[in-house]
Chain A
Amino acid sequence: MEEGIITAIRVVPLEHYVLLSFLLFSIGAAGVVFRRNTIIILMCLELMFNSVNLLLTAFSAHHSDPCAQVFVFFIMLVAAAEVTVGLSILVMMKRNVDSVDVNQLNRLKG
């Protein structure tokens, strides 16, 4: 079964994975940079994580090297932790400035 998945992954050429990951990552990055809603920003961050995960998995399958999959697990773990922190910040932000617009947090303006 394992072999089946790997074969399935290998059906699609590596370049396509790279391209897809690049697109997903760019969408995520653009969202982080240009959106003002904090919830969207957090979601875009997840998108970026997962684009990287996808890339790692694809490389792993194509090169028959399981090491990269270990990284993916780590990233998923860290992402889970990061989401809890991010969401608590979001709650605190809502309580303090009564908004989820990141541009309300501009007290560090020089």
Chain B
Amino acid sequence: MNLDLLAALVPALPLAGAVILASLRRKLSANGAGGLATAIMAVAFACSILLFMGFDAATGGRTVKLLDWIHVGGMEIPLALRIDALSLTMMLIVTGIGSLIHLYSIGYMHEDERAPTFFAQLNLFSFAMLMLVMGSNFLITFIGWEGVGLCSYLLIGFWYKTPEYNYAARKAFVMNRIGDVGMVLAMVLLFQRFGTLEYATIMDAATGFNDPMMIAATLFLFIGATGKSAQIPLFTWLPDAMAGPTPVSALIHAATMVTAGIFLTVRSSVLFELAPFTQDIILWVGTATALIAASIGLFQNDIKKVLAYSTVSQLGYMFVALGLGSYSAAMFHVTTHAFFKALLFLGAGSVIHALGGEQDIRKMGGLKGHIKITFITFFIGTIAISGLPLMSGFFSKDLIMAFAFEHSPALFALLLIGALMTTFYMFRLLFLVFYGAYRGNAHPHESPLSMTLPLMVLAVLSVVGGVLNLPHLFGGHEAMKHFLMSAADGISNESLELSHTTEWTLMGITTALVAVIIYVAYGRFAQQATLEGNEAEMPFFKRLIAQRWRVDELYRALFERPYTWMSANLFSIAEQRVMVPIMTGVGAAANALGDGFRRLQTGYVSFHMLAMLGGLILFLIITLMSN
């Protein structure tokens, strides 16, 4: 089998699917469109697996050049795909989890009249995401980068008849654009320095430790990453993005698109290694995001909002890993997070589906008897994200925490607090939704097989996902790290030098505290369902967190209001008092002038003759005078 052809097929299939579905969207039934889209993703997944099987990590990777794209002067940018350990990992995640979510969407969207459009956009998203991870240079990645932004906008605003959803979609789009400016600037700087945008060439040629230009380029790359991966200060769009249909939240806003920033950082790990200043910033931004987002998650009452803040928080952990230079740990957490967060979102979707659209956890409860499969899988997702021993989240989060401890125990303590908050809000969610007595008035029913099947597959993956990178401590040999080492040079620099005793102790502390937190949550939410009352009655600090640290209000005060104020003033002063008088003045002057000259047109032939004669004489006089 021709591997180059296979590599080209992986992004080409979803693109073809998107085109076909979009053009036939009025003819296809919801199930037909869903089936086609899912089949296409499954084939793309199969291609990815074949590529993975045929891949030899020792060769370091290959570049598949499809065609010359830009060839101007010294600038040469081919349309080429890079197949190496990193892109293969991401391809497997995107197509694998993507297929499951497509399958799930058949059940979730079967009543929506615009389902074929939905599947077309979902396929288009997969294409863009694959271009992002497979591109062999920054520009191809940037095409995918913009493409996923566009699809995210389209899918968040999929139910466009609700004005708030449109607002959420625009917010996501604008926030992403801010990040994109950073990415463009980074590309310009890198091109100026290296004369190319090819990853392989740049990474080989990169030199200059602590070079200001390198710091600037990596900082701009990081700004791009904060936009896509919802880090401080650009994280507020992600919770609002939950306006989209739940499968979209699972695919785009949990498993794939938001990891683009992490992918980009790992891709450029060599550059980041040269800029310790940027790494420190990443570290602290990641930590702050992890903690702040987790604290907001504690008080949310919308099932999807809890998960959204949880996603932001987990992405913060990944950035902490990147800031510490442990790229393989970040990618490992990307992978396991993709499993359990997709599972949790799809589970939440199943709950919402069962309750006919209800998202408020205060109106749920006692659902474990009604929707058994959803309950069991959601339970598995919850313990996986909380990091209970031997679950996938346990290994990946623990690896990051171990690296943090090696860096400084204080950082470890902060991350531990974040992890405990994660456990608390996840179990709060679990208990409030599935335990106690039912507080709503719908008739819960289990979802169809097309929805529960992906849940079961993801649940299995969430449990066993840890073996992908099983640490030495548990008899593994960090398979994923060694696999990824061939692709990202930064990985070879990382090594964890903690003694086994320390590692056991850290795990012991974490696990014990997690168990305590679960016990507390059980008492508060499973046995008596403590519901948060009115925000106005809360003490100040608690109210501040419940109101999401008022970040949205802060941005509104800092950017939106001054902008509106400026626009209003520009309108009333610059436009109405300056521009309008000038413009109407010019018009009035022309009118008056015309009015004056109109009188010359008397209609009398003799007058015209006289004028002609006068003009002629004037002309003669002037000609003679000038001579």
Contacts and interface: CB of A to CB of B under 8 A. Distances in A.
A36 B606 contact: yes
Contacts of A8: none
Contact of A110 (B600, B606, B610, B613): B600
Interface string A25-49: 0000100111110000000000000
Interface in B196-255: none
Interface string B598-614: 11111111100110010
Interface string A1-40: 0000000000000000000000000000100111110000
Interface stretch (A57-65, A75-83, A99-107): A99-107
Contact of A109 (B601, B610, B613): B601
Contact of A108 (B601, B609, B610, B613): B601
B604 A34 contact: no
Contacts of B600: 110
Contacts of A29: 613
Interface in B554-605: 597-605
Contact of B606 (A33, A107, A108, A109): A33
A45 to B, nearest CB: 10
Interface in B604-626: 604-606, 609-610, 613
A102 B607 CA distance: 11
Contacts of B613: 29, 32-33
Interface residues of B, number: 13
A51 to B, nearest CB: 14
Contacts of B601: 108-110
Interface residues of A, number: 14
B606 A34 contact: yes
B2 to A, nearest CB: 80
**Chain B CB within 10 Å, residue with most, of A29, A33, A35, A109:** A33
Contacts of B605: 102-103, 105
A102 B606 CA distance: 8
Nearest to B607: A33
A19 to B, nearest CB: 17
B606 A106 contact: no
A110 B600 CA distance: 8
Contacts of A34: 606
Given A110-B598, A110-B599, A103 B604 contact: yes
A110 B187 CA distance: 64
B602 A106 contact: yes
A34 B606 CA distance: 6
Contacts of B606: 32-36, 102-103
A29 B606 CA distance: 10
Contacts of A33: 606, 609-610, 613
A107 B602 CA distance: 9
Contacts of A32: 606, 609, 613
A33 B606 CA distance: 5
B599 A106 contact: no
Contacts of B609: 32-33
Interface string B10-38: 00000000000000000000000000000
B271 to A, nearest CB: 73
B604 A106 contact: yes
Contacts of B598: 110
A72 to B, nearest CB: 21
B534 to A, nearest CB: 77
Interface of B: 597-606, 609-610, 613
19 contacts: A29-B613, A32-B606, A32-B609, A33-B609, A35-B606, A102-B604, A102-B606, A103-B604, A105-B603, A106-B604, A107-B603, A108-B601, A109-B602, A109-B603, A110-B597, A110-B599, A110-B600, A110-B602, A110-B603
Which 10 pairs between the two chains have the least Cβ-Cβ distance?
A: A110-B601, A109-B603, A106-B603, A110-B598, A102-B605, A33-B610, A108-B603, A33-B609, A32-B609, A33-B606
Interface of A: 29, 32-36, 102-103, 105-110
Given A106-B603, A107-B603, A108-B601, 20 more contacts: A29-B613, A32-B609, A32-B613, A33-B609, A33-B610, A33-B613, A34-B606, A102-B604, A102-B605, A102-B606, A103-B605, A106-B602, A108-B603, A109-B602, A109-B603, A110-B597, A110-B598, A110-B599, A110-B600, A110-B603
